[in-house]
Chain A
Amino acid sequence: KAGVTQTPRYLIKTRGQQVTLSCSPISGHRSVSWYQQTPGQGLQFLFEYFSETQRNKGNFPGRFSGRQFSNSRSEMNVSTLELGDSALYLCASSLDRRQNTEAFFGQGTRLTVV
């Protein structure tokens, strides 16, 4: 079956702009999580969505937001971009079974803020 798909793969934005990233999970997966990966901080959890509801949120400012649609596809939005938002943003999908919480990752969207 198809893996997790993220679009676009690369983005270059200017400080102050906003950006929307998209994630299509594996068919049947209802949980979608987002992570930020940077050389300094590593992989940090942003938020998790399930059945169109945000269930869990990491320690990021309100400029970072997301949503999930009825088909489980998810988007994340970053407003008022800062240089420090430059990172690889990873999306992961999983079945919502607590004993089988294997996360399948997409290839990521590389965001560069200039």
Chain B
Amino acid sequence: AQRVTQPEKLLSVFKGAPVELKCNYSYSGSPELFWYVQYSRQRLQLLLRHISRESIKGFTADLNKGETSFHLKKPFAQEEDSAMYYCALSVWDSGYALNFGKGTSLLVTP
């Protein structure tokens, strides 16, 4: 069965500190993983995806198939990074679906 686990419900860091939001997955196929972010009063939006290997707003995430992880990292957190972050696994089974983790609320304090 496909599963995405985000072990931390809440992560609080100081501005300028490094951030790592953890995501582990279980999937027997070749995974396609995403990080989505939801800022206060805004819609859920894509932050980054593993196939593009890009850095968005200073965030990066590397797929580690050996550890089945896709942790989100940023070296220096900013107050505007405060938001809800969701790790998601794209599953193709005759149709398309996203399997989301429960989310981690990131709070960056000055």
Contact = CB atoms under 8 A, between A and B. Distances in A.
**How many of chain B's residues touch chain A, expressed as a range?**
20 to 34
A29 to B, nearest CB: 11
> Which of A31, A101, A104 is most buried by chain B, counting CB atoms within 10 A of its CB?
A101
Contact of B96 (A33, A44, A90): A33
Interface in B81-97: 86, 90, 92-97
A55 interface: yes
A103 B98 contact: yes
A56 B43 contact: no
Interface stretch (B45-53, B56-64, B70-78): B45-53
Interface of A is mostly: strand
A54 B45 CA distance: 24
B45 A55 contact: no
A107 interface: yes
B97 A96 contact: no
A48 B44 contact: no
B100 A56 contact: no
A44 B34 CA distance: 16
B100 A48 contact: no
A90 B95 CA distance: 18
Contacts of A90: 44
9 contacts: A35-B98, A35-B100, A45-B97, A45-B98, A94-B96, A99-B51, A102-B34, A105-B43, A105-B44
Interface of B: 32, 34, 43-46, 49, 51, 86, 90, 92-103
Interface of A: 3, 31, 33, 35, 42-45, 48, 50, 54-56, 58, 90, 92, 94, 96, 98-99, 101-108
Given A33-B97, A99-B51, 6 more contacts: A3-B43, A43-B100, A48-B96, A101-B32, A103-B98, A106-B43
